[in-house]
Amino acid sequence: MMRISLFLFLLVIAAGCRFFKGDPYRNTPTTGLAAITTDETFRPIIESELEVFKAIYGYTEFKANYVPEVAAFNQLFNEQVQLIVASRTLSKDELAIFHQRKIFPRQTKIAVDAIALIVSPKSSDTLITVNQIRDILTGKITRWNQINPLSKMGDIKAVFDNEKSSIINFLVDSICKGQLVKTNVFALEYNRDVIEYTSSHPGVLGFIGASWISNDTDSLHLTFHKKIKVVSVSENTRPDSENSYKPYQAYMADHIYPLTRDIYIINAEPRNGLVTGFSSFVASDKGQRIILKSGVLPAIAPTRVINIRKDF
């Protein structure tokens, strides 16, 4: 009897191992293997989501790719992955391509993000207007004293994470109206690179995703925050402390902070497997609470149920 029980136990373990190695037809919303791709700007958010999801559902494994947004969409179109996280939805033409393949992507807004502007701790220039940002990126403003006559910072050097990132796409489309000069604009590779470079180079104006510096419970992000200053942005022509805002959740909610944009999960899985399970988790109350903790704004505000006792 003992031998039979041991044999059955080993059989179950072996079956579980074969299952876990990733037969796509045996994936379920809470088990299996999946590859996903995320715009690198949103990496802190998705890493937190994956950590909790895998802790809850132990028989899951993800290969997460963190790349510029353009590359993320290319991987989705080429069927390298079935889920991406991006700052835009699919266009009508892009949807038509999937529909021809009999695939009907589900696009879910999961958060409101912001683009944060950062400078060196040595910089005293921490107020800027949307118009000034536009003029910097289109070449009309090239020196800090054109923004603040008292500034001694010299030339402005605008630095981004990647030339194909969602940050540049947003600024070109929404702020610069398709125009972007390259004389004083530079791209590195990752948001972390922008933080490190800006911290040690006075005169640089860095552009990063807000989640890289907004999580006040993460030691790494607190370390980042100590290395830089966050710039306040105003839609007025003359910025001051009363009309300028930083990328905090309260200001994202009402779009008082001007540089906000939405984050979407695009799920092109043809059947309900692990990709669908993870997508649903991120959009759920638990997943939205993780986003709230990350420092950006959840698409659906998490709620609390409070029981009030009446002792009279």
Domain-located, residue 270: yes
CB 263 within 8 A of CB 288: no
What distance lies between CA 103 and its chain's CA centroid? 25
State the pLDDT at residue 124: 83
Q: Given pLDDT bands bounded at 50, 70 and 90, which one contains residue 148?
A: confident
Q: For the chain, how many helices (H) and strands (E)?
A: 12, 13
d(CA 182, CA 124): 25
Say if residue 312's pLDDT is above 80: no
Max CA pair span of the chain? 88
Residues 162 and 99 in one domain: no
Secondary structure percentages of the chain, helix, strand, coil, to 5:
40, 25, 35
Domain-located, residue 102: yes
Residues 89 and 73 in one domain: yes
Domain-located, residue 145: yes
Our CA dihedral for 265, 285, 262, 192, rounded to 10 degrees, sits at -80
| Overall average pLDDT of the 153-171 stretch | 91
Residues 132 and 247 in one domain: yes
d(CA 204, CA 155): 8
Domain-located, residue 220: yes
| Overall average pLDDT of the 36-45 stretch | 95
Domain-located, residue 70: yes
State the pLDDT at residue 304: 43
State the pLDDT at residue 241: 86
At 254-302, the pLDDT tens digits run 889 999 999 999 999 999 999 999 999 999 999 999 999 988 999 986 6
Identify the weakest region by mean pLDDT among 29-38, 66-75, 143-152.
Answer: 143-152
Say if residue 308's pLDDT is above 50: no
Domain-located, residue 122: yes
CB 83 within 8 A of CB 275: yes
At 121-136, the pLDDT tens digits run 988 888 999 999 999 9
State the pLDDT at residue 30: 95
Say if residue 311's pLDDT is above 60: no
CATH number at 275 reads 3.40.190.10
Residues 120 and 255 in one domain: yes
Residues 98 and 123 in one domain: no
State the pLDDT at residue 307: 42
Residue 280 vs residue 14, higher pLDDT: 280
Distances (CA, A) of 299 to 42, 62, 113, 211, 242: 15, 24, 10, 15, 27
> Taking Cα atoms as reference points, which of 156, 150, 148 lies closest to residue 120?
156
Report the relative pairing of strands 185-187 and 244-245 from DSSP bridges: unpaired
Which residues span the domain enclosing 121? Answer: 114-260
Residues 87 and 141 in one domain: no
Report the alpha-carbon angle 137-266-252, nearest 5.
Answer: 50
At 206-240, the pLDDT tens digits run 999 998 987 666 555 555 667 899 999 999 988 88
d(CA 105, CA 87): 16
d(CA 167, CA 41): 8
d(CA 257, CA 246): 7
CB 185 within 8 A of CB 137: yes
Residue 241 vs residue 18, higher pLDDT: 241
CB 130 within 8 A of CB 159: no
Take residue 146 and report the two structure tokens written for it. 């054109």
Domain count for the chain: 2
Say if residue 13's pLDDT is above 50: no
Q: What is the mean pLDDT of the chain?
A: 86
At 76-85, the pLDDT tens digits run 999 999 999 9
Residues 215 and 137 in one domain: yes
| Most confident among 174-183, 213-222, 241-250 (mean pLDDT) | 241-250
Residues 70 and 202 in one domain: no
For a pLDDT cut of 90, what percent of the chain falls above it? 65
Residues 209 and 221 in one domain: yes
Domain-located, residue 61: yes
Domain-located, residue 5: no
Residues 97 and 135 in one domain: no
Residue 216 vs residue 204, higher pLDDT: 204
Residues 162 and 267 in one domain: no
Residue 151 vs residue 54, higher pLDDT: 54
Q: Given pLDDT bands bounded at 50, 70 and 90, which one contains residue 10?
A: very low
Which runs of consecutive H residues, i.e. helices, occur in the chain?
A: 2-20, 43-56, 69-77, 92-100, 130-137, 166-170, 191-199, 211-214, 219-227, 249-253, 274-283, 285-294
Say if residue 25's pLDDT is above 90: no
State the pLDDT at residue 27: 86
Q: Given pLDDT bands bounded at 50, 70 and 90, which one contains residue 26?
A: confident
Residues 211 and 232 in one domain: yes
Say if residue 310's pLDDT is above 80: no
d(CA 82, CA 4): 42
State the pLDDT at residue 117: 96
